[in-house]
Amino acid sequence: MGRYRLHVNGERREVDLPAETPLLWALREQLGLLGPKYGCGVGACGACTSLVDGQAARPCVTTVAEAQGRRVTTIEGLSEDGDHPVQQAWLELDVAQCGYCQPGQIMSTVALLAVDPDPDDAAIDAALRDNVCRCGTYTRVRAAVKRAAQ
């Protein structure tokens, strides 16, 4: 066990966990942040995507030790009431079907738009390539990325 100081959604938080514990467990089980979802647990599906130091990261394969001292943002940290421009675009275009993967899709989009404010289809597809949606909302996701970029 170890005590790890995390910086999550603008707040300093501490967790007592073994060093190799996935950050996703700390976020969901210790800090009550249920936005990042558990899908595959091996960094392959994108359901848990959150930001670490502003870049899209997979908390299921990031340990609490690796996250210490870094700036972690989950979808809960984007806005108080869902009014972040990317969240608004998702709502306007009714993107979600079952919704399970959508926090990850949104967080990957936030990371993309931070470095490419006007992405073309190829850039969108590349950035969200590893965010899997079993409902097949990809067309609406792409449209919402473009809406958020406007």
Q: Taking CB under 6 A as the rule, does residue 111 contact ligand FES?
A: no
Nearest approach, Cβ of 67 to ligand FES (angstroms)? 14
Question: 67 near 13, Cβ under 8 Å?
Answer: no
Q: Is the dihedral of CA 140, 144, 110, 128 positive or negative?
A: positive
Nearest approach, Cβ of 61 to ligand FES (angstroms)? 7
Q: Taking CB under 6 A as the rule, does residue 39 contact ligand FES?
A: yes
Q: For ligand FES, which residue of 17, 31, 35, 46 counts as binding (CB under 6 A)?
A: 46
d(CA 74, CA 106): 10
Number of residues counted as binding ligand FES (CB under 6 A)? 12
Nearest approach, Cβ of 70 to ligand FES (angstroms)? 17
Question: 57 near 50, Cβ under 8 Å?
Answer: yes
**Which one of the spans 44-52, 63-71, 73-81, 92-100 is the region binding ligand FES (CB under 6 A)?**
44-52
Q: For ligand FES, which residue of 7, 13, 30, 41 counts as binding (CB under 6 A)?
A: 41
C-alpha distances (whole Å) from 55 to each of 1, 99, 107, 136 are 28, 22, 9, 25
Nearest approach, Cβ of 29 to ligand FES (angstroms)? 14
E-strand stretches of 97-140: none
The 3-state DSSP class for residue 123 equals helix
Q: Which residues bind ligand FES (CB under 6 A)?
A: 38-41, 43-48, 58, 60
